[in-house]
């Protein structure tokens, strides 16, 4: 429909809306959106698809000069061999234990810290909050050397061996997770209306009761986001476990797959791809289930109820 001029009741000209032009603009915008969405999906899905295809190949087929995107003789032998290896089960168990404890430690530290920095105003609180975030910006490639030296000196002074122990990761991983998680929850806690905690304090609630009964339920989206971040970092971290653990029974999944399936110049690509795919399942499942709650919490927020 094209634009046309008509007369109003008082005789003044009035132009009709160009609905056809608007419809065409929306159609082209939708087409461009799908175009870039397909490019985005292809860019990020091609690596896992290639990993899955490679995991279904034998070592002979991988070494042969054939089409890398096609499986001529698909097999599940890589999955069977990897899942029946005691070492892989140990790596998986260590990763689960470390990630669970790191997430728990991170939340126990980050939630009270974010609450104190956002609500319990004191001298230097704003500077301290900024410093917490700046701590996260320091790359782990610079931190692992002084941390390694600190644990070595601690062993010399106390005789307690912390290196080459999986539980040393419970100490070093929070240096990555606590600063960022605290920064995330500072923003969520700061967005909560002050009238809520002021009313709770007037009613006789302590700071701890205000935190547990008001702030944590209202700021649940931020806590879920911080939990997802802490789990992802602790599950996928590679540099710290590579530097602090060496024995097979102390390794976590990312390092264990690389150190046991790469021997010299021999790469067991089929099992490496299989281990990487299986290792990616827990974060994928967590994102699939928790992202719905995260989005729902964002739409509800502090005005829910």
Residues 146 and 286 placed together within one structural domain of the fold:
yes
Residue 211's CATH number: 1.10.3720.10
Q: What's residue 234's pLDDT?
A: 93
* Ordered mean pLDDT values, 10 residues apiece, the chain (305 residues): 47 52 77 88 88 89 81 88 90 94 94 85 74 79 86 84 88 90 83 82 82 83 85 91 90 90 82 90 84 57 41
Residues 187 and 248 placed together within one structural domain of the fold:
yes
| Within-domain flag for 3 | no
Partners of 14 in beta bridges: 6
Q: What's residue 296's pLDDT?
A: 52
Domain of 59 in residue numbering reads as 23-75
Residues 92 and 209 placed together within one structural domain of the fold:
yes
Residues 71 and 84 placed together within one structural domain of the fold:
no
Residues 59 and 193 placed together within one structural domain of the fold:
no
Q: What's residue 1's pLDDT?
A: 43
Tell if the pTM clears 0.75, that is, is over it: yes
Q: What's residue 300's pLDDT?
A: 45
Residues 59 and 185 placed together within one structural domain of the fold:
no
Residues 60 and 90 placed together within one structural domain of the fold:
no
Residues 47 and 117 placed together within one structural domain of the fold:
no
Q: Indicate the residue among 37, 59, 75 that finishes a domain.
A: 75
Residues 51 and 153 placed together within one structural domain of the fold:
no
Q: What's residue 286's pLDDT?
A: 84
Q: What's residue 297's pLDDT?
A: 45
CB atoms < 10 A from the CB of 295, how many?
A: 12
Q: What's residue 128's pLDDT?
A: 78
- What is the signed CA dihedral for 265, 271, 275, 276, rounded to 10 degrees? 60
Q: What's residue 21's pLDDT?
A: 66
Residues 94 and 143 placed together within one structural domain of the fold:
yes
Q: What's residue 302's pLDDT?
A: 38
| Within-domain flag for 66 | yes
Q: How many domains does the chain have?
A: 2
């Amino acid at each position: 429909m094209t634009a046309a001029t008509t007369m109003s009741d008082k005789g003044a000209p009035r132009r009709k809306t160009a609905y056809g032009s608007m419809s065409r603009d929306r159609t082209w915008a939708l087409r461009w959106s799908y175009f870039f969405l397909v490019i985005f999906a292809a860019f990020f899905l091609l690596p896992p698809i290639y990993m899955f295809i490679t995991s279904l190949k034998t070592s002979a087929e991988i070494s042969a000069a054939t089409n890398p995107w096609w499986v001529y003789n698909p097999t599940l032998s890589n999955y069977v061999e990897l899942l029946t290896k005691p070492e892989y089960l140990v790596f998986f168990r260590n990763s689960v234990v470390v990630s669970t404890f790191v997430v728990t430690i991170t939340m126990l530290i980050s939630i009270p810290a974010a609450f104190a920095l956002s609500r319990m105003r004191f001298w230097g609180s704003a500077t301290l909050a900024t410093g917490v975030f700046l701590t996260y910006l320091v790359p782990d490639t610079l931190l692992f050397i002084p941390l390694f030296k600190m644990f070595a000196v601690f062993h010399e002074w106390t005789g307690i061996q912390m290196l080459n122990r999986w539980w040393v990761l419970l100490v070093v991983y929070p240096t990555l997770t606590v600063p960022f998680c605290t920064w995330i929850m500072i923003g969520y806690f700061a967005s909560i209306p002050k009238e809520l905690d002021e009313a709770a304090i007037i009613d006789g609630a302590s700071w701890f009761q205000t935190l547990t009964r008001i702030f944590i339920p209202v700021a649940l989206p931020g806590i879920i986001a911080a939990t997802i971040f802490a789990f992802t970092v602790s599950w996928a971290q590679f540099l710290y476990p590579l530097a602090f653990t060496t024995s097979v029974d102390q390794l976590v999944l990312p390092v264990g797959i690389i150190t046991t399936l790469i021997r010299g110049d021999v790469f067991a690509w089929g099992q490496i791809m299989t281990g990487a795919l299986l290792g990616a399942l827990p974060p994928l499942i967590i994102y699939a289930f928790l992202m719905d709650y995260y989005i729902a919490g964002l739409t509800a927020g502090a005005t829910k109820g």
